[in-house]
């Protein structure tokens, strides 16, 4: 294929999120195709199928929630479990970046269903907004441990907003993620109980989002199939698995350590720095250590 054709294909298959409002103003929704995000998370973190699938759902949910924010406002979702998965973390910025990780220790009896892996635990949502000095935090119990139900339960319990959440991920026979996507649909203050029941009934018959993505549908086509009312599109933008870490940022964090600690790191060749969010490895060289030591000496004077 020519470079131009490759470029067109890449743009067509890129992950995107779209937000909309119903023409009658009673509902708003976000729809996302997140296959590339989920695949990158699985490969960068070397994840087995179930931890990868659950992280995928959390990354998908966080990206959808961030789409309702503005500028560089952020959403952090955390699921803290008690079974073989201890923690899943996803952080999304409205500009189209999401990153995350999963802490797990699989055992022979870890289970086979997606709901076996977290067990009892807590689901935490943090919103970092421009007009608030502190993050807005909501914590609920894990309702089912499949992330979709937990996120819907959070909206109902913590924000008192009736919300339908569909987070979908498909894996191939080798346990690798093929596709992922999602939908969050929320009632606005003008919607009554009957409106909400009607919409929920219609959503029950909607096709699997990963099936639509598998058919190479665009986000606009997927949205047209999923959304059971007339709507107006508010946003439509590209999203990627992206981490803002850099070697320089790590080095400036090391300046908070004492000079003796830096010297001992250098002596013991503790030169590897790993980003927990994206699993990127950075290596400190002798001149990096020397620079750190010099900077620390200068600040002591």
Residues near Zn ion, by CB under 5 A: 243, 245, 275, 277-278, 280
How big is the CA angle at 116 (ends 178 and 209), to the nearest 5 degrees? 30
Sign of CA dihedral 246, 85, 29, 154: negative
- Angle (CA) 248-254-260 rounded to 5° is 140
DSSP 270: -
Neighbouring residues of 8: CB distance < 8 A, sequence distance ≥ 6: none
CB of 97 to Zn ion, least distance (A): 11
Name the residue nearer to Zn ion (CB basis): 86 or 280: 280
Q: Identify the CA nearest to 36 among candidates 244, 243, 240, 279.
A: 240
Q: Which one, 226 or 278, has the nearer CB to Zn ion?
A: 278
Q: Which is nearer to Zn ion, 27 or 241 (CB)?
A: 241
Closest CB to Zn ion among residues 41, 50: 41
Q: How far is the CB of 80 from Zn ion (least distance, A)?
A: 21
Spatial contact of 141 and 81, defined as CB atoms under 8 Å apart: no
75 versus 142: smaller Cβ distance to Zn ion: 75
Q: Minimum CB separation from Zn ion for residue 99, in Å? A: 6
Minimum gap (Å) between residue 39 Cβ and Zn ion: 17
- Least separation in angstroms between residue 221's CB and Zn ion is 33
Nearer to Zn ion, 87 or 157 (CB): 87
Give the torsion through C-alpha atoms of 61, 166, 14, 74, to 10 deg. Answer: -20
Task: Work out how close the CB of 241 gets to Zn ion at its nearest, in angstroms, rounded to a whole number.
Answer: 10
Of the candidates 49, 117, 113, 111, which has an alpha carbon nearest to the alpha carbon of residue 83?
117
């Amino acid at each position: 294929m020519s470079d131009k054709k490759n470029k067109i294909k890449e743009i067509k298959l890129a992950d995107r999120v779209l937000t909309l409002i119903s023409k009658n103003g009673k509902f708003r929704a976000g729809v996302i195709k997140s296959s590339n995000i989920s695949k990158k998370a699985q490969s960068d973190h070397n994840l087995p199928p179930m931890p990868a699938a659950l992280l995928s759902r959390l990354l998908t949910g966080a990206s959808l929630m961030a789409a309702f924010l503005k500028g560089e406002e952020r959403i952090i979702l955390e699921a803290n479990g008690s079974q073989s998965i201890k923690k899943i973390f996803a952080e999304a910025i409205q500009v189209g970046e999401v990153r995350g990780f999963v802490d797990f220790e699989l055992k022979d009896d870890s289970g086979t269903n997606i709901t076996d892996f977290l067990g009892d635990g807590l689901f935490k949502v943090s919103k970092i907004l421009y007009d608030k000095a502190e993050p807005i935090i909501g914590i609920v119990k894990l309702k089912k441990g499949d992330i979709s139900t937990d996120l819907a339960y959070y909206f109902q319990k913590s924000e008192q907003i009736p919300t339908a959440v569909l987070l979908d991920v498909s894996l191939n026979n080798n346990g690798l993620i093929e596709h992922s996507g999602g939908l969050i649909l929320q009632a606005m203050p003008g919607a009554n109980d009957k409106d909400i029941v009607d919409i929920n009934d219609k959503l029950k018959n909607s096709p699997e989002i990963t099936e639509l993505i598998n058919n190479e549908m665009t986000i606009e086509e997927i949205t047209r199939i999923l959304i059971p009312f007339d709507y107006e599109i508010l946003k439509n933008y590209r999203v990627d698995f992206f981490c803002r870490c850099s070697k320089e940022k790590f080095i400036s964090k090391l300046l908070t350590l004492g000079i003796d600690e830096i010297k001992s790191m250098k002596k013991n060749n503790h030169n590897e720095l790993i980003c927990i969010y994206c699993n990127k490895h950075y290596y400190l060289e002798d001149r990096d250590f020397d620079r750190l030591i010099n900077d620390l000496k200068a600040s002591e004077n």
